[in-house]
Structure 1
Amino acid sequence: MSLAQKFLTGLFGIGMVTTLILPGRQTPKVFDAARKLISYPLATAMGQNKG
């Protein structure tokens, strides 16, 4: 894993932990955005574009 990948992984991890711990955060919206970030490009690559 390159230094850039480690940095981005750590940054993502810190963001997710912050979302879960601090009060007043919009946890469901963050999880939905993360799900879309993964599923939409994968669906497009498989030819099942969700529009």
Structure 2
Amino acid sequence: MSAAEKIAMGIVSIGMITTLILPGRQTPAVINAFTKLFRGSLATAMGTGVKV
């Protein structure tokens, strides 16, 4: 890829990421939910999870 193509790709990528995390969107909440699910599963597997 040429330098111009890489720059254009970077601009498009930043635009897409910005669109996903704009205020009023649910994307951050969904990402946090998946993160908590992964961390909770890992903590349970290691035996360090919070006891219920």
TM-score, scaled relative to structure 2? 0.45
Higher relative contact order (CA 8 A, sep 6+): 1
Please report the TM-score for the alignment, with normalisation by the length of structure 1. 0.46
| Bigger Cα Rg | 2
